Amino acid sequence: MSENKLNIKAEAKNLNFFYANGTKALKNVSLPVYENKITALIGPSGCGKSTFLRCFNRMHDLYPGNRYEGQILLHPDNTNVLGKGVDPIEVRMRISMVFQKPNPFPKSIYENVAYGLRVRGERSKSAVDDKVEEALKGASLWNEVKSRLQDLAFNLSGGQQQRLCIARALATDPEIMLFDEPTSALDPIATVNIEELMSGLKNKLSILVVTHNMQQAARISDYTAYMYLGEMIEFDATDKIFTNPSRKETEDYITGKFG
């Protein structure tokens, strides 16, 4: 094990989150996200894992009245993602996201991947071309679509659409990629493709993934965090969590006695 080379890419510190209606959805949550590792968030429905994930790219800012307390520090520059002076758009430029259901734009395959670059004002056609190809290769979709880049993204299958969304998130060279149950809308074969893809991606960036599928967490993640009712119950190496958890609640959930 190369434990000594482990760097923290981001860490949540004593994070509380309140929805506009006053619900406290996260209670004093802390979590490190290690560089070039996959960290999985597991827990029963409604435990706050998606809410937590969406704090990392300030997605909650899109809806009025939501409120954060605490910090999410992004290293190496120590920027507090949740800081009042930090623009959520700047955060989203550094931390990209893949959603539960594939959500390509009703545009061409090419334009979907290029969109992040357009937003960043990239004008050079050859530069965008290169980046689109690189991102599609990174999302192992290039061979399937290289001959029809101008086709509508909706004509792809569900699994291909999700890989297209990964390519879109990849094209802007993010430091962290957030995955919100990325395979829950997909069939088993597409799921395997996405999982293999994620395992390959961690060489380039750090990954935080929400999953309700424990086997998936066990298969792909290096670290696992178990959340329940808005609290972080346990965080540890995935092997440890699934073989020898230190908390009774975690063990009950892992073994299926609960949840």
Residues that bind another protein (CB under 8 A): 57, 59, 62, 64, 89-90, 92-93, 96-97, 99, 101, 103-106, 115-116, 118-120, 152, 154, 165, 168-169, 172
Non-local CB neighbours of 202 within 8 Å, separated by 6+ positions: 36, 37, 38, 222
Q: Judged by CB, which is closer to another protein: 62, or 189? A: 62
Q: Judged by CB, which is closer to another protein: 86, or 93? A: 93
Nearest approach in angstroms of CB 97 to another protein is 4
- To 10 degrees, the CA torsion angle through 128, 132, 133, 139? 160
Q: Judged by CB, which is closer to another protein: 97, or 254? A: 97
- Backbone dihedral angles phi then psi of residue 41, each to the nearest 5 degrees: -110, 120
Q: Judged by CB, which is closer to another protein: 19, or 99? A: 99
Nearest approach in angstroms of CB 255 to another protein is 31
Q: Judged by CB, which is closer to another protein: 194, or 241? A: 194
Nearest approach in angstroms of CB 199 to another protein is 22
Nearest approach in angstroms of CB 106 to another protein is 4
Nearest approach in angstroms of CB 90 to another protein is 8
Q: Judged by CB, which is closer to another protein: 51, or 224? A: 51
Nearest approach in angstroms of CB 48 to another protein is 18
Direct distance between the N- and C-terminal alpha carbons of the chain, in angstroms, rounded to an integer: 33
Q: Judged by CB, which is closer to another protein: 22, or 106? A: 106
Nearest approach in angstroms of CB 256 to another protein is 28
